[in-house]
Chains A and B, each alone.
Chain A
Amino acid sequence: MNPSPASSDAPAVLPARTYLNAPDTGLMSWANTRDHKRVGVMFLVSTTIAFFLGGVFALLIRLELLTPGPTIMDAMTYNRLFTLHGVVMIFLFMIPAIPSGFGNFLLPLMIGAKDVAFPKLNLLSFYLYLAGAAVAIYGLIYGGTDTGWTFYTPYSTTTATKVVPVLLGAFIIGFSSILTGLNFIVTTHTMRAPGLGWNRLPLFVWAIYATSIIQILATPVLGMSLLLVAVENAFGWGIFDPARGGDPVLFQHFFWFYSHPAVYIMILPAMAVISEVVCAFSRKNIFGYKAVAYSSLGIAFVGFFTWGHHLFVSGQSVVDAGIFGVLSMFVGIFTAIKVFNWTATLYRGSIAFKTPFAYFVGFLFFLVFGGMTGVALATLSLDVHWHDTYFVVAHFHFIMVGATVMGFLAALHYWLPKISGRMYPEGWGLVAAVMVVLGFNFTFIPQFLLGNEGMPRRYFSYPEHFWALNVASTAGASVLGFGLLIVLVYTLASLRWGPVAGPNPWNSRGFEWATPSPPPPENFDATPVYTSGPHEYDEQAVPQPQLPEPEPRHV
């Protein structure tokens, strides 16, 4: 039941019965659905809206920083805006986008299941997300929260603006995240189709599985610490209040115990996508399957041991700093393993430079540079200089925008035919990809230099000698924004007018392509039985007599 190579006479019409029109197309059938594909699509739509919302906030922030003094707003508005940007991008876009969106759609397809293990919980997860998003955005807009997404005490417990609604919103979204993670772990454990052992699991599933572990184990701690801040803010119980003997640094411990692993919630799914894309477009088996698969688990676990590297200048003890410092060096290794194995996968491949692959190229560069600057940041004495400067901002945008958004865009282009049955325009896709990658570099490379020069983050105004680099960064941001706008326009257009893709337009061996595009509601006509792995390309091509002898299996 592995996908067959696309025949040249691919069907020019969409399948008659798909998850999109069966059981029916009414709004209620979506609102009440148990189908993981529909839930995934709903997550995709809402997270994409959140992404563009957050993007608009980002552009406003960059506009404000175009000149040293006030440019288009006052300090209060600016502080609210960067809080909005952070909360919307992290809680409403980054964390749910790939796992809850693409993960929901693809994970059951990839393991040959009819649905996730708990379809009702899955739908509940989506509604929790919506409810949390509504509460958080209400709090941000009407409460004017100005704490930044980190909610550091005692600022967050003493600010005159309303913080509690945002905390509750994030708390509710946390539950959505937990339910999704729980669902994926159970699904992966119990619902794999016959023939699909752990060592044949698609790498996408491995990475989403690792993500889910983090979601399960870390999110409750965030929930509890947000609740404690809310209690503190509303009632003054004093757990984090220095005036009552509380320790504000303890909040930072709790917060980063979640939020550092949360960074891996954001990046692991992008790695999941990239592992699939690199194989499909180089038409090559993955180099070092086990290394790539297990390194996802490695990231998930070691990622928990490094949270203290956010506290190197917070008054944390030297002993803790040393422990966290050295452990942070190890977490980078797992990413390095993946990067080298992806690159080695290209060796002797047959590389088609399509749009998803273009985003893979961007991803590779951003991940290597962003990842290594991350390890550099964990180098203790350097962190003392860089901490809370634009260097940090540039670093985590390299990972989150650079790597994660590239992963998201690669996934969007790669699986758009699967989800909608239609292709995007390849030419426009490449143009936009080039704009996004270049615009991104122009936005954030100057910010590394700003950080080196010493500009702290969350600055509304800045001394004049930071001006030139800020102008460069704003200019780059406008290119990046324009590129993303092009993506949005042609994606929406191709949903209606794009050419019909056929079941397997990429000739991919991924299991999700073994069923029509878009898939029927029950995913597969019969329970599939797998006889080969999802990243095996050797026996796939049509044999031609003049080809040389097959290569030995071990090179």
Chain B
Amino acid sequence: MNELMRRMLWLPEQASEYARRVDGLHFFVISTTMIAAFGVFATAIWFFVRYRRRSDSDVTPVVHPRAIHEALFIGVPLALFLLWFAIGFPQYVSLTLPPPDAQDVFVQGKKWMWKFAYAGGPNSVDTLRVPADRPVRLLITSRDVIHSFYVPALRIKMDALPGRYTQTWFTADRPGRYEIFCAEYCGLGHSSMLGELVVMPQAEFDDWVAEQRRNVLAAAQDGGAAVQPVLGRAGVVDEGRRVAAEQGCLKCHSVDGSRHLGPTWTDLYLRQSKLKGGKTVVADEGYLTKSMMDPAADIVDGYQNVMPTYQGRMSPPEVAAIVEYIKSLRTPAVRSGPTEGPVYESIPRKQ
């Protein structure tokens, strides 16, 4: 019955006990809505047929309601609605009361990606891994505008407010992969701000965390942070970093490998990129300089033409310094971004 209703209403799979409870209410609410709507409609249609105008001189009686009619008109729907509320409100309240033993995950929305951080590491982008059958509390925030963290399969959603935290929690009980959407309009990339929730059995999750922490440690021993500017010509690079910050480049280009409004600068130098229209280009000094002067000329596929020209806004030495800074941003291995964990077959969705 649950499965039939779920498919009829095109609801996504139910990955938690909470989702199943909410769906129970959903089925009840939709059924009463349907019955009421079609009840009213059937009555109306019956009246249309039964009392259709037979001649232009038809006479109609005066019909006034009795108190009982109006009492029923008010009482029946009100009782139903209050019943809905009485079921729905406790469910909503339960979402705001995470159990004390819940594992905390920090969620940060940013145009247009999701970052997840576990206490003690690791961090990940766009992929949230959680253990099955264990309560997980999400502490959600945003770097820029309001986003909304939405997992349809869990029936949960919570806005990410810039500068402050909101919370929600869930206990996923079905290992698998589920979609994460941004549900609050946040600009150009709103509809591509997608993420993935990976629910894994506790043991595999523990293995994954241990593996990730080892990697981070190794990277730290390799050379400090994951992103370590190659030194040399340090003065120019520092100058480039300063100019980039002043000119606001870093508002759209990240230096940690993450995707933002524009392509990241990490490992950008000499990278091959596919342009809009299919051409390929190598990001050498010439391309980087041209991109600052005439950004619209060669747009990398998948990005919007939103960058203003810096022609006349920076002196040639400043441009050169930025290019040197970009050249300095090279990593032995880029460590950010989702790391591959065990792969689960997602439960097949209907077509």
Using CB atoms and an 8 Å cutoff, list the residues of chain A in contact with chain B: 74-76, 79, 146-148, 152, 154-155, 158-160, 242-243, 248-249, 282-285, 287-288, 291, 312-315, 318, 321-322, 325-326, 329-330, 332-333, 336-337, 339-341, 343-344, 346-353, 361, 364-365, 368-369, 372-373, 375-376, 378-382, 384-385, 387-389, 449-450, 452-454, 456-463, 465, 468-469, 507, 536-538, 541-542, 544, 547, 550-551, 553-555
CA of A324 to CA of B32, assembled, Å = 22
Partner of A538, one of B26, B61, B89, B148: B61
Residue of B nearest to A147 (CB): B185
CA of A456 to CA of B112, assembled, Å = 15
- Is there contact, CB below 8 Å, between A291 and B62? no
Query: Is B33 part of the contact surface with A, judged by Cβ < 8 Å?
Result: yes
CA of A340 to CA of B37, assembled, Å = 11
Query: Is B295 part of the contact surface with A, judged by Cβ < 8 Å?
Result: no
CA of A64 to CA of B26, assembled, Å = 31
CA of A542 to CA of B55, assembled, Å = 12
- Is there contact, CB below 8 Å, between A544 and B57? yes
Chain B residue total in the interface (Cβ 8 A): 88
- Is there contact, CB below 8 Å, between B91 and A381? yes
CA of A532 to CA of B81, assembled, Å = 38
Q: Which of B40-48, B209-217, B283-291, B316-324 lies at the interface with chain A?
A: B40-48
B345 to chain A, nearest CB (A): 16
Partner of B53, one of A154, A243, A351, A454: A351
Question: For chain B residues 1-39, which have a beta carbon within 8 Å of chain A?
Answer: 9-12, 22, 25-26, 29-30, 32-33, 36-37
Question: Contacts A368-B41, A381-B91, A387-B183 given: A332-B190 contact, CB under 8 Å?
Answer: no
Chain B: interface secondary structure? Answer: mixed
Known: A343-B47, A364-B40. 15 other contacts (CB 8 A): A75-B191, A152-B146, A160-B306, A285-B64, A313-B159, A314-B146, A315-B164, A341-B65, A348-B63, A376-B33, A449-B9, A454-B152, A469-B10, A538-B62, A555-B63
CA of A417 to CA of B155, assembled, Å = 51
Query: Is B219 part of the contact surface with A, judged by Cβ < 8 Å?
Result: no
- Is there contact, CB below 8 Å, between A329 and B81? yes
A254 to chain B, nearest CB (A): 15
Question: For chain B residues 62-91, which have a beta carbon within 8 Å of chain A?
Answer: 62-66, 69-70, 73-74, 77-78, 81-82, 84-85, 87-89, 91
CA of A452 to CA of B52, assembled, Å = 39
Question: For chain B residues 310-346, which have a beta carbon within 8 Å of chain A?
Answer: none
- Is there contact, CB below 8 Å, between B148 and A388? yes
- Is there contact, CB below 8 Å, between B88 and A158? no
- CB-defined contacts of B30 to chain A, threshold 8 Å: 376
Question: Contacts A152-B146, A365-B37, A449-B10 given: A329-B84 contact, CB under 8 Å?
Answer: yes
Partner of B73, one of A337, A385, A463: A337
CA of A372 to CA of B84, assembled, Å = 11
- Is there contact, CB below 8 Å, between B185 and A148? yes
- Is there contact, CB below 8 Å, between B161 and A242? yes
CA of A522 to CA of B152, assembled, Å = 60
Partner of B77, one of A158, A332, A343, A373: A332
Listed by A's residue number, 24 A-B pairs whose Cβ atoms lie within 8 Å are: A79-B187, A154-B145, A158-B144, A243-B162, A248-B146, A284-B60, A285-B64, A313-B157, A332-B81, A336-B73, A344-B63, A346-B47, A346-B51, A349-B51, A350-B54, A351-B53, A364-B40, A364-B44, A368-B40, A379-B84, A380-B88, A449-B9, A463-B194, A551-B63
CA of A458 to CA of B82, assembled, Å = 32
- Is there contact, CB below 8 Å, between A379 and B43? no
- Is there contact, CB below 8 Å, between B9 and A351? no
Question: Contacts A325-B88, A369-B37 given: A74-B304 contact, CB under 8 Å?
Answer: yes
Question: Contacts A333-B77, A382-B29 given: A352-B88 contact, CB under 8 Å?
Answer: no
Residue of B nearest to A311 (CB): B159
- CB-defined contacts of B181 to chain A, threshold 8 Å: 454, 456
A398 to chain B, nearest CB (A): 11
Partner of B91, one of A314, A380, A538, A553: A380
Question: For chain B residues 140-176, which have a beta carbon within 8 Å of chain A?
Answer: 144-146, 148, 150, 152-153, 155-159, 161-164, 166
- Is there contact, CB below 8 Å, between B84 and A368? no
Query: Is B238 part of the contact surface with A, judged by Cβ < 8 Å?
Result: no
CA of A462 to CA of B81, assembled, Å = 34
Query: Is B351 part of the contact surface with A, judged by Cβ < 8 Å?
Result: yes
- Is there contact, CB below 8 Å, between B70 and A368? no
Query: Is B231 part of the contact surface with A, judged by Cβ < 8 Å?
Result: no
- CB-defined contacts of A544 to chain B, threshold 8 Å: 57, 59
- Is there contact, CB below 8 Å, between A465 and B351? yes
Binary flags per residue of B231-250, CB closer than 8 Å to A gives 1, else 0: 00000000000000000000
- CB-defined contacts of A381 to chain B, threshold 8 Å: 22, 25, 87-89, 91-92, 95, 155
CA of A384 to CA of B81, assembled, Å = 17
- Is there contact, CB below 8 Å, between B47 and A347? yes
- CB-defined contacts of B148 to chain A, threshold 8 Å: 313, 387-388, 456
CA of A326 to CA of B60, assembled, Å = 41
- CB-defined contacts of A388 to chain B, threshold 8 Å: 148, 150, 157, 183-185
- CB-defined contacts of A288 to chain B, threshold 8 Å: 64-65, 69-70, 73
- CB-defined contacts of A368 to chain B, threshold 8 Å: 36-37, 40-41
Residue of B nearest to A544 (CB): B57
- CB-defined contacts of B192 to chain A, threshold 8 Å: 461
- Is there contact, CB below 8 Å, between A347 and B63? yes
A189 to chain B, nearest CB (A): 27
B76 to chain A, nearest CB (A): 8
Residue of A nearest to B142 (CB): A242
- CB-defined contacts of A343 to chain B, threshold 8 Å: 40, 43-44, 47
A25 to chain B, nearest CB (A): 36
- Is there contact, CB below 8 Å, between A333 and B74? yes
Binary flags per residue of B117-133, CB closer than 8 Å to A gives 1, else 0: 00000000000000000
Query: Is B188 part of the contact surface with A, judged by Cβ < 8 Å?
Result: yes
Question: Contacts A243-B162, A343-B40, A364-B44 given: A375-B84 contact, CB under 8 Å?
Answer: yes
Partner of B191, one of A159, A459, A468: A459
Question: Contacts A312-B92, A373-B33 given: A351-B52 contact, CB under 8 Å?
Answer: yes
Residue of B nearest to A289 (CB): B64
- CB-defined contacts of B186 to chain A, threshold 8 Å: 155
B236 to chain A, nearest CB (A): 31
- Is there contact, CB below 8 Å, between A349 and B60? yes
Query: Is B203 part of the contact surface with A, judged by Cβ < 8 Å?
Result: no
Question: Contacts A75-B304, A454-B152 given: A380-B58 contact, CB under 8 Å?
Answer: no
CA of A468 to CA of B349, assembled, Å = 13
Question: Contacts A242-B164, A291-B73, A376-B84 given: A384-B155 contact, CB under 8 Å?
Answer: yes
CA of A550 to CA of B158, assembled, Å = 62
Question: Contacts A75-B304, A364-B44, A541-B59 given: A287-B65 contact, CB under 8 Å?
Answer: yes
Query: Is B179 part of the contact surface with A, judged by Cβ < 8 Å?
Result: yes
- CB-defined contacts of B70 to chain A, threshold 8 Å: 288, 291, 337
Residue of A nearest to B61 (CB): A551
- Is there contact, CB below 8 Å, between A369 and B29? no
B323 to chain A, nearest CB (A): 25
Question: Contacts A364-B41, A458-B190 given: A372-B36 contact, CB under 8 Å?
Answer: yes
CA of A288 to CA of B63, assembled, Å = 9
- Is there contact, CB below 8 Å, between A365 and B51? no
CA of A343 to CA of B155, assembled, Å = 37
CA of A349 to CA of B166, assembled, Å = 56
A155 to chain B, nearest CB (A): 4
Sorted nearest first, the 5 A-B pairs with minimum C-beta distance are A454-B152, A551-B61, A381-B91, A380-B92, A350-B58
- CB-defined contacts of B159 to chain A, threshold 8 Å: 313-315
Partner of B64, one of A148, A315, A369, A555: A555
